[in-house]
């Protein structure tokens, strides 16, 4: 792994009760013997001469769409942009009229051959595809299959086809909050923290991140080394954030009121989606030139968004949209919230054969919401010159405008 962060928050976490990483390589080995010979992307000898091919997995998701649009706006070397997703958005059509060739690929990262076909010939892969599920919608096995095996398939496709640069969208959850509810207060990539997880989502992200970092330096087809890094966003907000939209609609249904459940003192790190997208674009661009420094490294995503409780932060956008947060302190005692969260989990289990019941409040979301987790770092700035593209004021305004539009479409 890279020079920094050997033992800190970039150290290896523990997933309690989860399968250890098996060394089985994806089924890609057999099926791609010839595919690798077909395309030999070499970034260094072509970065200046020819236009580059980028692949964004999960390119139609909340973050993925912003990465796609940011690449089209701010990556001058872009010749072809491949957007790989299980669900392609209709908005992709409007992107096909520009100077960059945009190739929409409907595919599944759990299907190794589909990943390999999409990766073949790409110079850079930005891997954002994943199941972001902390609400019990998908089974633990499915979350693992998509987030871990899917990432393994992406790595093996890079190795087999000769793609040398891979940026992985990891998560703060790789670090914490841990199962003991320890706060992570304005920590950084080197902060010592006991990263112990039980929930399928953080476990899958931790295992996937480890695969990506350990793949750094592997020889890819053509004999050059693979260069990887992982970016760890904290809670992303901005245009397209469905949870924010859900809170807004919940408040509208309750006559404009939201009721405080989390103490205002619990700080949660949040980061604007546009700045997360920009960090991905910049990391992908600099990964070649700064391979020795960036290869195998993790970087928290950060910007000027203020440290606030999850609910108070949301009110920065929902307040201007007419909602009010009732209570200077939680209206319900914590033990009652714990009981209600457990009741939701029981109801989800009982109703699963009939209907999917997946409310926001469950034991995991309550624990995460109630545990301080904020980052304070400049590692991305030191390593590849990252500076937020959007100020807090701009991020806030853009998000408010989006919430207002999303809310009006709900009525």
Ligand X SMILES: NC(=O)C1=CN([C@@H]2O[C@H](COP(=O)(O)OP(=O)(O)OC[C@H]3O[C@@H](n4cnc5c(N)ncnc54)[C@H](O)[C@@H]3O)[C@@H](O)[C@H]2O)C=CC1
Ligand Y SMILES: CC(C)[C@@H](O)CC[C@@H](C)[C@H]1CC[C@H]2[C@@H]3[C@H](O)CC4=CC(=O)CC[C@]4(C)[C@H]3CC[C@]12C
Region near ligand X per CB under 6 A, out of 60-68, 73-81, 283-291, 384-392: 60-68
Binding mask 111-150 vs ligand Y (x if CB under 6 A, - otherwise)? ---------------------x-x----------------
Measured between alpha carbons, how far is residue 189 from residues 11, 22, 167, 292, 348 in Å? 9, 26, 17, 18, 36
CA dihedral 91, 92, 95, 100 (to 10 degrees): 160
Residue 32 touches ligand X, criterion: CB under 6 A: no
Which CB sits closer to ligand Y, 244 or 283? 244
CA–CA separation, 244 and 332 (whole Å): 22
Residue 380 touches ligand X, criterion: CB under 6 A: no
Alpha-carbon torsion 218, 220, 226, 232, what sign? negative
Question: CB-side exposure of 287: number of CA atoms within 13 Å?
Answer: 32
Considering the complex, what minimum distance in angstroms separates the CB of residue 195 from ligand X? 15
Binding mask 201-240 vs ligand X (x if CB under 6 A, - otherwise)? ----x---------------------------x-xx----
Q: CA triplet 138, 202, 299: central angle to 5 degrees?
A: 130
Non-local (6+) Cβ contacts of 396 within 8 A are 316, 317
Which CB sits closer to ligand Y, 173 or 267? 173
Residue from 95, 224, 360, 400 touching ligand Y (CB under 6 A): that is 360
Which CB sits closer to ligand X, 129 or 321? 129
Q: Which residues pair with 169 in a beta bridge?
A: 231
Return the SS3 of 37: helix
Considering the complex, what minimum distance in angstroms separates the CB of residue 205 from ligand X? 6
Which residue number has the CB closest to ligand X? 61
Residue 28 touches ligand X, criterion: CB under 6 A: no
Residue 130 touches ligand X, criterion: CB under 6 A: yes
Residue from 303, 311, 312, 316 touching ligand Y (CB under 6 A): that is 311
Longest Cα–Cα distance in the chain: 64
Region near ligand Y per CB under 6 A, out of 62-70, 145-153, 294-302, 362-370: 362-370
Which residue number has the CB closest to ligand Y? 235
Residue 244 touches ligand Y, criterion: CB under 6 A: no
Return the SS3 of 187: strand
- Residue 149 DSSP one-character state: I
Non-local (6+) Cβ contacts of 310 within 8 A are 235, 262, 266, 268, 270, 369
CB 261 within 8 A of CB 330: yes
Residue 83 touches ligand X, criterion: CB under 6 A: no
Which of the listed partners (ligand X, ligand Y, none) does 303 bind, with a CB threshold of 5 to 8 Å by partner kind? none
Residue 13 touches ligand X, criterion: CB under 6 A: no
Which of the listed partners (ligand Y, ligand X, none) does 228 bind, with a CB threshold of 5 to 8 Å by partner kind? none
Q: Which residues pair with 55 in a beta bridge?
A: 82, 125
Considering the complex, what minimum distance in angstroms separates the CB of residue 314 from ligand X? 13
Decide if 201 is catalytic.
Answer: yes
User: C-alpha 365: how far from its chain's center?
Assistant: 17
CB 161 within 8 A of CB 118: no
CA–CA separation, 97 and 80 (whole Å): 13
Say which of 54, 168, 193, 201 is annotated catalytic. 201
Region near ligand Y per CB under 6 A, out of 223-231, 271-279, 289-297, 365-373: 365-373
Residue from 52, 53, 60, 389 touching ligand X (CB under 6 A): that is 60
Give the E-state strand segments of 100-199 in sequence order: 101-106, 124-127, 165-169, 184-187, 196-197
Residue 202: name the closest of 172, 167, 231, 243 by CA: 172
Residues that bind ligand X (CB under 6 A): 58, 60-64, 85-87, 108-110, 128-132, 146, 150, 169, 171, 205, 233, 235-236
| Interacting residue ranges for ligand Y, rule: CB under 6 A | 132, 134, 171-173, 235, 243, 261-262, 310-311, 360-361, 365-366, 368-369
Q: Which residues are catalytic?
A: 201
């Amino acid at each position: 792994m890279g020079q920094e962060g050997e033992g800190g928050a970039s150290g290896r976490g523990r997933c309690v009760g989860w399968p250890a990483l098996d060394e089985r390589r994806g089924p890609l080995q057999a099926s791609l013997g010839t595919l690798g010979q077909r395309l030999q992307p070499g970034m260094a000898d072509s970065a200046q001469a020819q236009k580059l091919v980028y692949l964004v997995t999960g390119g139609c998701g909340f973050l993925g769409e912003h990465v796609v649009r940011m690449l089209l706006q701010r990556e001058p070397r872009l010749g072809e942009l491949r957007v790989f997703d299980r669900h392609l958005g209709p908005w992709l059509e409007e992107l096909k009229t520009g100077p960059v060739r945009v190739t929409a690929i409907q595919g599944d990262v759990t299907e190794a051959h589909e990943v390999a076909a999409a990766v073949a010939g790409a110079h850079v892969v930005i891997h954002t595809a994943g199941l972001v599920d902390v609400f019990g919608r998908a089974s633990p096995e499915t979350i693992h299959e998509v987030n871990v095996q899917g990432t393994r398939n992406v790595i093996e496709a890079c190795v087999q086809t000769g793609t040398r640069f891979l940026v992985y969208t990891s998560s703060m959850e790789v670090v914490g909050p841990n199962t003991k509810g320890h706060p992570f207060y304005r920590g950084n990539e080197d902060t010592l923290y006991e990263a112990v997880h039980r929930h399928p989502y953080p476990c899958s992200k931790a295992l996937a991140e480890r695969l990506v970092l350990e793949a750094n330096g592997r020889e890819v087809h053509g004999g050059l080394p693979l260069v990887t890094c992982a970016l760890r966003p904290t809670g992303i907000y901005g245009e397209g954030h469905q949870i924010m939209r859900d809170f807004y609609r919940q408040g509208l249904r309750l006559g404009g009121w939201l009721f405080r459940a989390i103490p205002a003192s619990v700080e949660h790190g949040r980061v604007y989606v546009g700045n997360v997208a920009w960090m991905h674009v910049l990391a992908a661009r600099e990964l070649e030139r700064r391979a020795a420094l960036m290869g195998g490294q993790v970087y928290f995503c950060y910007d000027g968004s203020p440290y606030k409780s999850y609910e108070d932060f949301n009110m920065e956008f929902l307040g201007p949209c007419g909602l009010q947060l009732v209570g200077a302190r939680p209206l319900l005692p914590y033990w009652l919230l714990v009981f209600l969260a457990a009741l939701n989990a029981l109801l989800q289990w009982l109703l699963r054969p009939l209907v999917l019941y997946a409310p926001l409040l469950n034991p995991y979301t309550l624990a995460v919401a109630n545990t301080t987790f904020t980052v304070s770092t400049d590692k991305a700035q030191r390593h590849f010159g990252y500076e937020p593209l959007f100020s807090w004021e701009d991020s806030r305004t853009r998000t408010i405008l989006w919430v207002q539009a999303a809310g009006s479409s709900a009525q």
